[in-house]
Amino acid sequence: MSDFAIGLASNIGMLAFVALSAYLLLISGSISFGQQAYFGLGAYGAGIATALWDWPLMVALGFGALVGGLGGGLVGLLTRKLHGLYFAIATLAFAEMTRIALDLWHYQRMVGGERVGPDGPNGFNGIRRAFEDGWDPAAFMILIWTLLAVTLLALLLFERSRAGVTLRATGEDPVLTRLLGTDVARLRVRTAAVAGAIAGLGGGLYAHLNTYIEPRLFDIMLGVHALAYGLIGGLGTALGPLIGVLIDIGILESTSLFQGWRMIAFGGLVAVLLIWRPRGLLDEPTVRRLRALFARPARHA
């Protein structure tokens, strides 16, 4: 694979984490404009763990996911009673608070003769653990996609489970789900925590691939994209958000066709899709039809 293809595949994989994070909340009926915050928290957490505390890469990635999960869980706990746009605005407010707080945060140490660590708006330099440990870009891309595949598989299995069905039911009608005996508030908190952890894992990978992060990267536009990926690709299956990322990065960004106009094309695509297919390309009826299509030969055999 060429360097360009490896970079592209890595970017798609990392963005898929934050897209899956937003997707998980979407199917539970909550719109979050703030998943970029947990992506950022995971990036800072994992980066600090390797660059300042000298933790092994894998442990640090887990720590990033934990930080993201704690952030998501905390916000989920505080906002468990908020609905629709109230929840959306609260997540937006929290994400911007996080970004500004990271802008104000300085935590630096001398490591190997240079100052390393978060330096407010100047960003966080020198997260080189992955490359010091001998991961070349191709190997790191495989790592990203392996972790993504595991996450995707877990989500796909979860959606087939009883808990997954309950989660979708909450999204359809929280009052009815409550009537049927589900503790919707607790479910919301847990979903927010898991979604935060998924974003945090992606953030840790992002920090180690780029070796440099800054608060500005985790701004509202990342959140809009994360949300849009699921809405474009479809809310019927966890593969939907991945398709959304492929359309944006794979087609719009990688081809020079839309140079300078990418955001305009992408924003327009989302707006038109919301009119034409409000739950994305792979929406629930489509997924059911596809599933029936693949299930039929098996049944006759």
Partner 1 sequence: MMADVLQTLLNGLAAGAAYALLGVGFTLMFGVMRRLNLSYGATLMFGGYLGALLMAKAGDALPGGLLTVFGAVVTVAGATLAGLYVERLCFAPLRDRSGVAAMVSSFAVWMQIEALASLLLPQHTNPYPAPLDLAPLHLGALTLRAEHLLTFAVAALLAIFLHRLLSASRFGLALRTLSDSAAAAQAVGIDARRTTLLAFLLASALGGVGAWLVLVADQQVTPMFGMWSTAKGLIAMMLGGLGSIPGAVIGGLLLGLVEATGQALFGPQVRELIAYGLLFVVLVVRPGGIFGRATIDLDAAARERL
Query: How many C-beta neighbours within 10 Å does residue 2 have?
Result: 7
Concatenated DSSP letters of 45-99: HHHHHHHTT---HHHHHHHHHHHHHHHHHHHHHHTTT--HHHHHHHHHHHHHHHH
Q: How far is the CB of 188 from partner 1 (least distance, A)?
A: 10
**Sole binder of partner 1 in the list 122, 278, 289, 291 (CB under 8 A):** 278
Task: Map the footprint of partner 1 across residues 213-272, applying CB under 8 A.
Answer: 219-221, 224, 227-228, 231, 260-264, 266-268, 270-271
For residues 34 to 73, the per-residue mask of contacts with partner 1, x marking binding by CB under 8 A and - elsewhere, is ----------------------------------------
Q: How far is the CB of 218 from partner 1 (least distance, A)?
A: 13
Residues 55 and 133 sit within 8 Å (Cβ to Cβ):
no
Residues contacting partner 1: total by CB under 8 A: 48
Q: Counting contacts by CB under 8 A, is residue 168 touching partner 1?
A: no
Longest dimension (CA), the chain: 69
Rounded distance, CA 6 to CA 138, Å?
6
**Sole binder of partner 1 in the list 5, 53, 59, 84 (CB under 8 A):** 84
User: And the tokens for 276?
Assistant: 């034409």
Rounded distance, CA 245 to CA 226, Å?
9
**Sole binder of partner 1 in the list 5, 149, 176, 257 (CB under 8 A):** 176
Closest CA to 8 of 264, 230, 252, 262: 252
Q: How far is the CB of 88 from partner 1 (least distance, A)?
A: 7
Q: How far is the CB of 101 from partner 1 (least distance, A)?
A: 6
User: And the tokens for 135?
Assistant: 């991961």
Torsion over CA: 110, 139, 242, 151 (sign): negative
Which of helix, strand or coil describes residue 151? Answer: helix
Q: Counting contacts by CB under 8 A, is residue 83 touching partner 1?
A: yes
User: And the tokens for 273?
Assistant: 């899709």
**Sole binder of partner 1 in the list 58, 85, 150, 154 (CB under 8 A):** 85
**Which range, of 13-21, 92-100, 137-145, 159-167, touches partner 1 by CB under 8 A?**
92-100
**Which range, of 91-99, 122-130, 161-169, 289-297, touches partner 1 by CB under 8 A?**
91-99
Closest CA to 143 of 99, 201, 76: 201
Beta-ladder partners of 110: 115
**Sole binder of partner 1 in the list 6, 7, 8, 31 (CB under 8 A):** 31
**Which range, of 43-51, 80-88, 126-134, 141-149, touches partner 1 by CB under 8 A?**
80-88
Residue with tokens 């996080």, as numbered in its chain: 98
Comparing CB distances to partner 1, the nearer of 19 and 205 is: 19
**Which range, of 51-59, 66-74, 86-94, 287-295, touches partner 1 by CB under 8 A?**
86-94
Question: In the 8-state DSSP scheme, what is residue 215?
Answer: G
Q: Which residues bind partner 1 (CB under 8 A)?
A: 31, 33, 78-79, 81-86, 88-90, 93-94, 96-97, 100-101, 103-104, 174-176, 178-179, 184-185, 219-221, 224, 227-228, 231, 260-264, 266-268, 270-271, 274-275, 278
